[in-house]
Amino acid sequence: MALALFNNLTRKKEAFKPAEPGVVKFYGCGPTLYANPHLGNCRAFLFYDLLRRWMEYEGNKVRFVMNITDVDDKTIRKAGEEGKTLEELYELYAKPFFEDLGKLGVKKAEAYPRATKHIPQMVRLVQALEDKGLAYKGEDGSFYFKISAFKKYGKLSHIDAKGLKPGASGRVGHDEYEKENASDFALWKAWTPDDGCVFWQTPLGKGRPGWHIECSAMSMHYLGETLDIHAGGVDLLFPHHENEIAQSEGATGKQFARFWVHNEHLLVNGMKMAKRLKNFFTLGDILAKNHSPAAVRWLLLCAHYRQQLNFTFESLNAASASVDALMELKFNIESAMKSPKEETKGDVEKCARLCKGFLAAFKSAMDDDLNTPNAIAALFSFAKEANKLAMEGKVGRKGGAKLLDALRKADSVLGILEMGEGKGKEGQVPMEQKAIEKKIAEREAARKKKDFAASDAIRNELLENYGVILEDTPSGARWRRK
Ligand code: AMP
Ligand code: ZN
């Protein structure tokens, strides 16, 4: 079975194959950098990362590009309020943004194009639309897309373009608006005093791009006229993505994106987590409360991407416990592998069968529109069986290597163990898994030398400082968090 993805263009799950075999052209709408992104935004970035990792797992090369909106209505307003230039605003928020992506284990994109660095591409696109009769200059000097001239308008959001106001009689200058207000939208905005020092002198006049044209121009510049996948949060489906289709397909006459995929929202008390609602947490807020990025990653990936997810600290604690269970599994397998006891051929075969069944279940869940809840259920039933085999002394060097390999394969998609860190309980310092393992190895060495005072001291230190409980089993020490 290959990946079936829910395509919002057809509102169906469809078998996904890139147009060029083995190479996926994937564009995701990135952040508007006028504040630190919140966990809702992180949900979108982690969804892109999951999709990208799954397509890589299936043997594709993924050319992933994510834009940075560094000029639009919001950034201009924020820069004005703070007395900063757009460049200064970018400098302020770009570094923490990329650091957050790194902390969350998001793999690097091929490019992170900034809108302000691609103005000529946007101007050329508007000119191409004007040449085709799809754009016109309003009396205010701005350029608008003429939706009555583009018959396919509405094909993504499924609004009826015939019912919309024709031509210049209805126009919208703001970047964001509701479906009811669908009308000719701004491609290029003529300068007004509110823009202050934000403008470019171009063949279209003095002004700045509309938000929607930015993604059309940059995605096609980096990935070509037809993308395999275009992603974003569901809030972007209309008008942003509908307008991107109109601009891109209007100019090239070719299909712009073959698959349109959207993640559902992260909520707080049933409301979308949003900057304007002031109900948000940034990753920094969460880490300051001594939660780990691995728990955040787990929480945001665990729910299916097309289901809304309500954020609570209880669910974050549960995610943290799951991360610990996964680390514990890895440690238990590694400890069992060090046991001097020879494993039988039958034991090795048992491990091999367990791995095969697990990876098949994991793949079929992920191929089913990235069904992470099912993939994680498969992981936990694998963990239960593998822990049991290890406890029974049936995991040795060979069987353990197979179990670890399967775990690592799944983790190349989930990206949790590779972050290599756990979380201390409240008031405790998060401790790296490696550091825990180092302490346990020191204790083992002390026990071998029959230095029980030292071994007990390490056991107490792990418990008191890090909430880690040790249990001695026939195949070595196991640990879990209190
Ligand atoms: P923005 O910085 O607002 O342009 O958004 C960046 C990405 O985050 C876009 O793909 C949005 O659709 C997405 N997004 C914004 N808020 C949420 C939310 N509460 N839950 C999930 N995704 C969101
Ligand atoms: Zn976009």
In the chain, what are the domains? 19-283 (3.40.50.620), 289-419 (1.10.730.10), 433-481 (no CATH)
Query: What is the number of the ligand closest to the CA of 73?
Result: 1
The answer, yes or no, to whether any atom of ligand 1 lies below 6 A from the CB of 68, is: no
Backbone angles phi, psi at 271, to 5 degrees: -110, 145
Give pLDDT tens digits for 248-297.
Answer: 999 999 999 999 999 999 999 999 999 999 999 999 999 999 899 999 99
- Res 84: pLDDT: 96
| Mean of pLDDT values over 4-30 | 98
- Res 479: pLDDT: 77
Please determine, for residue 3, whether its predicted confidence score (pLDDT) is greater than 60: yes
pLDDT band with cut points at 50, 70 and 90 for residue 229: very high
Q: What ligand 1 atom has the least distance to the C-alpha of 236?
A: 12
- Res 371: pLDDT: 98
Residue 442 or residue 36, greater confidence: 36
Mean pLDDT of the chain: 92
pLDDT band with cut points at 50, 70 and 90 for residue 433: low
Residue 74 or residue 463, greater confidence: 74
* pTM assigned to the model: 0.89
| Mean of pLDDT values over 215-228 | 98
Q: What ligand 1 atom has the least distance to the C-alpha of 28?
A: 10
Choose the residue to mutate in 29, 218, 235 for probing ligand 1, maximizing ligand atoms within 8 Å of C-beta: 235
Residue 51 or residue 463, greater confidence: 51
Strand arrangement of the beta sheet that strand 271-272 belongs to = 271-272, 266-268, 309-310
- Res 163: pLDDT: 65
Residue 402 or residue 482, greater confidence: 402
Please determine, for residue 444, whether its predicted confidence score (pLDDT) is greater than 80: yes
Query: What is the number of the ligand closest to the CA of 243?
Result: 2
Give the Å distances, CA to CA, from 410 to 152, 189, 358, 373, 414. Answer: 41, 47, 9, 14, 6
Please determine, for residue 86, whether its predicted confidence score (pLDDT) is greater than 90: yes
Give pLDDT tens digits for 21-54.
Answer: 999 999 999 999 999 999 999 999 999 999 999 9
Q: Is there a contact between 425 and 481 (Cβ–Cβ < 8 Å)?
A: yes
Terminal C-alpha separation, the chain:
41
Residue 348 or residue 164, greater confidence: 348
Residues 6+ apart with CB under 8 A from 237: 8, 156, 157, 260, 262
Query: What is the percent of the chain with per-residue pLDDT over 70, rounded to a whole number?
Result: 94
- Res 480: pLDDT: 75
Choose the residue to mutate in 26, 29, 41, 45 for probing ligand 1, maximizing ligand atoms within 8 Å of C-beta: 41
Taking the mean position of all CA atoms in its chain, how far away is CA 130? 36
Identify the residue whose C-alpha is closest to ligand 1 atom 2: 31
pLDDT band with cut points at 50, 70 and 90 for residue 104: very high
| Mean of pLDDT values over 132-137 | 97
- Res 421: pLDDT: 43
The answer, yes or no, to whether any atom of ligand 1 lies below 6 A from the CB of 56, is: no
Task: State the pairing for strand pair 23-28/61-66.
Answer: parallel
| Mean of pLDDT values over 70-90 | 96
Instruction: State how far the Cα of 324 lies from the Cα of 222, in Å rounded to an integer.
Output: 40
Measure 281 CA to ligand 1 centroid, in angstroms: 13
Amino acid in the structure at residue 468: V
- Which residues are near ligand 2, the ion (C-beta closer than 5 Å)? 29, 215
Measure 223 CA to ligand 1 centroid, in angstroms: 22
- Res 230: pLDDT: 98
Please determine, for residue 213, whether its predicted confidence score (pLDDT) is greater than 80: yes
| Structure-token match 């395509």, residue found | 7
Residue 359 or residue 465, greater confidence: 359
Measure 224 CA to ligand 1 centroid, in angstroms: 25
Which of 12, 39, 37 is CA-nearest to residue 265? 39
The answer, yes or no, to whether any atom of ligand 1 lies below 6 A from the CB of 241, is: no
Give pLDDT tens digits for 302-355.
Answer: 999 999 999 999 999 999 999 999 999 999 999 999 887 889 999 999 999 999
Give pLDDT tens digits for 166-210.
Answer: 544 578 888 888 777 778 999 999 999 999 999 999 999 999 999
- Res 103: pLDDT: 96
Please determine, for residue 440, whether its predicted confidence score (pLDDT) is greater than 90: no
